[in-house]
């Protein structure tokens, strides 16, 4: 059975009294004898006091049961609740919330089945002892206030939907893991009225708060003096990542790391990315809508507003694939579907109808969820190669973002972690490269990386909630030291590159094991001088002065940093197949 969103063996279910065909069910439990009576009372009286609406009651049985179990204690916690329901408090409905609710509802069966599979394949102790139920607030600041109004307007035009995909899947994931979830576009943190100069009036009732950069600014203003005390509980959904050099305000300012978004001084692992851009941040990801039906219409993979932009078929006399750019096209979907293509002498032509299709990236938007879902549905992803790579130095989109990454294609994750035969990254003006990709299309099967399945995301989020601890002053103990594989990088290479070259992943939580003179000695490095400095490259070795630099500021431990005069000491680790965020010793 399922209790609190978790699969459990040998559990006893209570008798259930059905209320309606599309509603939650009222449990008949002797430990809560007046539950049904209280439900009936609130069904007729919930509008008598605004406090009920404040706590999410909207007249439905599901919302009333949630209130009576979480706010009061008249009904058993979560028993019999609909797994696709969230507690939406003080949230203005609109296209963005509709999108989130629709996705959660559409994928609810996939999430439930993933939870059941994990329950079957994992000892019960994994769930009962390692995963205490916690109170979680989901506060997407991008949907609040005037920023939210602008965001809603963009959603109605077809984007940006990637952030909403993450909020939807995070919501579903936390529900299946059994935690108490509140989704709100208001603060709900008990702030005193005024300008935020006073601390909150009561202890924070949420164990974790998931928000974004906009929400972080809102919370700082509302919480006042209490912000620093509670900031260890924040988790920031950050699509493109925040490297440590941009995260520490004083360091970023003095070293010229200009950004509109960083400088909050959080632990870098508190930032949670859509793809594993940099291991300095935690990879949250999302769950791909897997191919669960025999036939999937191509319209389901793209917004209604963009269907008119599909290119089908590709003209046989075209020498190259169509390309575009945000500068030349303004609003565009960034991808098109083509019927399967085949080499036909001097040109390419359509060969047979869907479901075999090519999903073509047009260069923008960068790093969205659509290619992953297209690949899962059996499409081949054909994307443009960027030469030179795009970065904050030469690209307006990345300018001001807190990252130094060099973007070699429209979707680097698809290029590096999936690759051929499912992903082809080509020079779109080179017909030979395009023809080679087309020839491989006929024999390629659908593929979904495990980390982008519901089960993979459940594993990852469960690991983070169970083991990541940012409120303690002690050094991290997860991943364990047994996972550490020490590598000395060549001059000019980041630890991201050094570890990846050995099919490993840089793990910033293990840097403290290398931040001592003995670490240099074990690597056979003779140090003429050893000293701590505030430098995002350290620990590192300078061969010219034989200086061994130690890290003085733990917030600057960085997998991403590189410099031509330093050899980085890199804490690498292995990872589970298809799950880069977790190591064999991590679970």
Residue 364: C-alpha distances to residues 37, 380, 384, 435 (Å) = 56, 17, 10, 22
pLDDT for position 510: 98
Q: What percent of the chain has pLDDT over 90?
A: 45
HEC profile of 371-426: HHHHHHCCCEEEEEEEEEEECCCCCCCCCCCCCCCCEEECCHHHHHHHCCCCEEEE
Distance CA 169, CA 274 (A): 11
For position 240, what pLDDT does the model report? Answer: 86
| Percentage of residues of the chain with pLDDT beyond 70 | 74
H helix or E strand, kind and range, residue 255: none
Contact 459, 587 (CB under 8 A): yes
Tell me the residue length of the chain.
587
Tens digits of per-residue pLDDT, 458-468? 999 999 999 99
- Give 382-433 pLDDT, tens digit per residue: 899 999 999 988 999 888 889 999 999 999 999 999 998 889 899 888 888 8
Single out the residue of 206, 211, 168, 207 nearest to residue 189, CA to CA.
206
pLDDT of residue 92: 56
Structure tokens at 490: 């060549």
- One-character DSSP codes across 88-140: EES---SHHHHHHHHHHHHTHHHHHHHHHHHHHHS-HHHHHTT----EEEEE-
Residue in the structure block whose two tokens are 């709900």? 188
Strand partners, 211: 139, 236
10 Å CB burial of residue 120 (0-12, 13-18, 19+) is exposed
Mind listing the pLDDT tens digit for each residue in 291-338? 433 333 444 444 333 333 333 333 333 333 443 333 333 333 456 555
Quick check: 386 and 409 in contact, CB under 8 A?
Answer: yes
Contact 168, 105 (CB under 8 A): no
pLDDT grade for 138, boundaries at 50, 70 and 90: very high
Chain-centre distance for alpha carbon 321: 31
If 0-12 CB within 10 Å is exposed, 13-18 middle and 19+ buried, where does residue 485 land?
middle
| CA separation for the pair 35, 415 (Å, rounded) | 54
pTM for this model (two decimals): 0.76
Q: What is the mean pLDDT of the chain?
A: 79
- Find the Cα–Cα–Cα–Cα dihedral 145, 148, 149, 153, rounded to 10°: 180
Q: Identify whether the C-beta of residue 535 lies closer than 8 Å to the C-beta of residue 566.
A: no
Q: Report residue 513 CA to chain centroid gap.
A: 28
Residue 394: its pLDDT value, please? 92
Q: What is the pLDDT of residue 443?
A: 62
Cis previous bond, 427, omega within 30: no
The rounded distance, in Å, linking the Cα atoms of 183 and 294 is 34
| DSSP 8-state assignment for residue 512 | G
pLDDT in tens, 82-105: 443 455 555 556 888 888 999 999
Is the torsion defined by CA of 411, 412, 418, 422 positive or negative?
A: positive
Q: Mean pLDDT over residues 146-156, rounded?
A: 75
């Amino acid at each position: 059975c399922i209790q609190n969103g978790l699969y459990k063996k040998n559990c006893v279910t209570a008798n259930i009294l059905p209320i309606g065909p599309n509603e939650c069910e009222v449990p008949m439990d002797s430990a809560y004898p007046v539950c049904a009576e209280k439900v009936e009372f609130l069904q007729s009286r919930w509008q008598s006091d605004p406090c009920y609406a404040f706590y999410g009651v909207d007249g439905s049985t599901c919302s009333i049961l949630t209130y009576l179990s979480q706010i009061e204690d008249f009904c058993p916690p979560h028993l019999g609740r609909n797994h696709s329901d969230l507690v939406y408090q003080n949230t203005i409905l609109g296209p963005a919330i509709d999108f989130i609710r629709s996705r959660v509802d559409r994928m609810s069966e996939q999430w439930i089945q993933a939870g059941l599979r994990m329950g079957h394949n994992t000892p019960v102790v994994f769930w009962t002892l390692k995963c205490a139920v916690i109170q979680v607030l989901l506060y997407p600041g991008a949907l609040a206030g005037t920023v939210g109004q602008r965001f809603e307007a963009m959603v109605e035009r077809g984007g940006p939907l990637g952030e909403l995909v993450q909020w939807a899947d995070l919501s579903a994931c936390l529900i299946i893991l059994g935690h108490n979830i509140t989704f709100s576009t208001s603060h709900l943190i008990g702030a005193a009225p005024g300008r935020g100069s006073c601390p909150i009036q009561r202890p924070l009732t949420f164990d974790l708060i998931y928000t974004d950069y906009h929400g972080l600014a809102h919370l700082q203003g509302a919480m006042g003096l209490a912000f620093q005390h509670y900031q260890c509980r924040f988790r920031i959904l950050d699509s493109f990542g925040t490297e440590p050099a941009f995260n520490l305000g004083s360091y970023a300012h003095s070293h010229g790391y200009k950004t509109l978004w960083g400088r909050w001084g959080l632990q870098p692992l508190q930032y949670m990315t859509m793809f594993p851009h940099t291991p300095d941040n935690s990879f949250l990801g999302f769950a791909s809508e897997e191919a669960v039906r025999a036939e999937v219409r191509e319209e389901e993979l793209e917004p209604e507003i963009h269907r008119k932009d599909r290119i089908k078929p590709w003209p046989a006399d075209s020498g190259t694939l169509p390309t575009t750019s945000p500068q030349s096209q303004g609003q565009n979907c960034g991808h098109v579907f083509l019927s399967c293509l085949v080499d036909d002498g001097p040109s390419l032509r359509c060969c047979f109808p869907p479901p075999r299709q090519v999903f073509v990236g047009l260069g923008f938007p960068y790093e969205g969820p659509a290619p992953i879902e297209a690949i899962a549905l059996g499409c081949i992803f054909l994307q443009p190669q960027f030469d030179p790579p795009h970065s904050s130095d030469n690209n307006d989109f990345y300018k001001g973002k807190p990252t130094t990454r060099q973007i070699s294609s429209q979707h680097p994750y698809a290029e590096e972690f999936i690759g051929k035969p499912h992903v082809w990254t080509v020079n779109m003006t080179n017909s030979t490269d395009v023809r080679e990709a087309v020839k491989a299309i006929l024999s390629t099967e659908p593929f979904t990386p495990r980390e982008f399945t519901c089960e993979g995301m459940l594993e990852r989020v469960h690991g983070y909630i169970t083991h990541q601890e940012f409120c303690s002053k002690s050094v991290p103990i997860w991943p364990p030291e047994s996972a550490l594989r020490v590598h000395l990088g060549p001059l000019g290479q980041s630890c991201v590159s050094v570890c990846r070259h050995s099919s490993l992943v840089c793990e910033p939580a293990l840097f403290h094991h290398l931040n001592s003179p003995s670490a240099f000695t074990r690597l056979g490095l003779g140090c003429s001088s050893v000293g701590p400095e505030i430098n995002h490259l350290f620990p590192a070795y300078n061969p010219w002065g034989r200086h061994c630099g130690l890290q003085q500021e733990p917030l600057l431990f960085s997998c991403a940093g590189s410099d031509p005069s330093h050899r980085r000491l890199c804490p690498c680790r292995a990872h589970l197949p298809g799950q880069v965020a977790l190591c064999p010793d991590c679970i």
